[in-house]
Amino acid sequence: MNEATTTTSALQRLPENLRTRFAAQQVEVIVANNEVTLEVPREHLLEVCGALQGEAEFSFKQLVDVCGVDYSSYGEVEWETNSTTSTGFSRGVGGAADEARWKKQRFASVYHLLSYKHNMRLRVRTFADSEFPVVDSVVSIWSGANWFEREAFDLFGIIYDGHPDLRRILTDYGFVGHPFRKDFPLIGEVEMRYDAEKKRVIYQPVTIEARVGVPRVIRGDHLHGVDDANEQTTDAATS
């Protein structure tokens, strides 16, 4: 059996191995687009991650990334349209797709793992409370999570309990709010400027006027679901 066959076989066994090993932790295994996602209840996160990292059957020694997700508007339609599909570049969808709404909690912490031993990747996801999102830090399992968790805290406001130094890492010290949350205003909350009288930088309420971006289709062609033949006929009739 060659290396490629061994890797494929291991990937095929992974979902069932996860279900069997973590049945007591009430995990959910999702397989989509040849990718495996393991949803773990928040109270079992450290237990499951420790096993994924340490047990020879998994050996996910490498933590590639930790990121936050805000599902508050997941599945909603940005604008209604009858001439565009739910696939491709457009976000305008209609019909049955609009009826699907996210039923789980608003915030999630997502971990991307890599096993060099078995040449496998795994996505782990755990959900946090919508009002005050808190999950356990995995720094004790993967030290590389340190800066990743600080980033998710900074941008999404997810608290990583047990993190050794949970401070903002990308925004300024006086920054207000968490800019990757879906309800964060595009113009921000505060702005800073240099005050000549005080001779220092000060913070004040933002003075930029809010702008609403309205999506518009400015041309008709096959990309927008318009029949070129009908368009040419219409142009000929009006010329």
Above pLDDT 90, what percent of the chain? 51
For the stretch 61-112, pLDDT in tens is: 999 999 999 998 887 665 555 555 555 444 444 444 444 557 789 999 999 9
pLDDT band at 36; cut points 50, 70, 90: very high
For the stretch 158-185, pLDDT in tens is: 999 999 999 999 988 778 889 999 988 8
Is the model's pLDDT at 42 over the cut of 90?
yes
Q: Residue 63 contacts by C-beta under 8 Å, 6 or more apart in sequence?
A: 111, 112, 113, 114, 138, 141, 142, 144, 145, 148
- What is the largest distance, in Å, between two alpha-carbon atoms of the chain? 77
Contacts of 119 by beta carbon, 8 Å cutoff, 6+ apart: 7, 10
Domains of the chain: 3-71+106-170 (3.30.460.80)
pTM of the predicted model as reported, rounded to 2 decimal places:
0.73
